[in-house]
C-alpha cells in the first residue's frame, strides 16, 4: 500500500464555521435574486445548497454530479454521472442559482457554466485559478491549500503548526 502525500497547506473547516460561511454566502446572494431554483454540484455542493435554499426560501433543488477528485488530487478528466433535469436547462437562467462548496482549477465550473450559461454561480470557497468563473463566493484560499471540509474530519489531536506536542 502506497502512502498518500497530503498537501502542505491545510485549511480545516468545522461544521460551525462552514454553516456560518454558507449563511454569509446566502446573505451575499440575497441581493441578486430572487432565485426560483438551485442546481448544486454534488457531492460538495449539497450542504451549502441546503443552507442557501433555506435562507433564500428556494424550494426547487436539483443536482449535477461530477466526479473530479480522487486521492486528494484533481482528476485529469471529469465524469458527469448525473446531469441536470431538462426542465431546469430550459428554465429562465436569470432565476437559476448554481451552488458548490469550492471552485479550484475551474474545470468543473466551466463544464457547468457551459451547460447553464446565464445562471448565477456561487461557491463558499474559491481558489485563484477558478475564481473568475464564479459570480459570488465568501472566502478565497491559495491555490496550494487543501480544504478539509467537516465531512472529511473527525475529532482528534491537531499538532501545532511548528511541530511538537503543544
Catalytic member of 83, 104, 135, 152:
104
Catalytic member of 100, 114, 135, 152:
100
Grid coordinates representing 140? 478565497
Catalytic member of 101, 114, 135, 144:
101
Sequence-ordered list of residues with C-beta below 8 angstroms from that of 52, at least 6 positions apart, any chain: 22, 25, 26, 29, 38, 58, 97, 99, 122
Strand partners, 99: 40, 122
- The sign of the dihedral angle between the CA atoms of 56, 140, 102, 158 is negative
User: Is 100 among the catalytic positions?
Assistant: yes
How many Cα atoms sit within 13 Å of 119 on the Cβ side? 26
Q: Which residues are catalytic?
A: 100-101, 104
Amino acid at each position: 500500500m502506497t502512502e498518500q502525500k497530503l498537501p502542505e497547506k491545510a485549511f480545516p473547516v468545522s461544521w460551525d464555521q462552514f454553516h456560518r460561511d454558507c449563511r454569509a454566502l446566502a446573505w451575499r446572494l440575497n441581493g441578486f435574486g430572487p432565485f426560483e431554483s438551485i442546481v448544486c454540484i454534488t457531492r460538495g455542493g449539497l450542504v451549502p445548497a441546503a443552507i442557501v435554499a433555506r435562507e433564500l426560501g428556494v424550494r426547487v433543488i436539483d443536482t449535477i454530479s461530477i466526479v473530479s477528485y480522487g486521492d486528494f488530487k484533481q482528476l485529469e478528466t471529469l465524469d458527469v454521472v448525473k446531469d441536470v433535469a431538462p426542465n431546469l436547462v430550459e428554465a429562465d437562467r436569470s432565476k437559476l442559482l448554481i451552488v458548490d462548496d469550492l471552485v479550484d482549477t475551474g474545470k468543473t465550473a466551466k463544464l457547468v457554466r457551459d451547460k447553464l450559461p446565464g445562471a448565477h454561480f456561487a461557491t463558499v470557497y474559491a481558489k485563484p485559478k477558478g475564481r473568475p468563473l464564479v459570480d459570488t463566493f465568501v472566502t478565497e484560499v491559495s491555490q496550494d491549500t487543501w480544504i478539509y471540509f467537516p465531512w472529511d474530519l473527525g475529532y482528534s489531536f491537531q499538532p501545532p503548526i511548528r511541530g511538537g506536542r503543544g
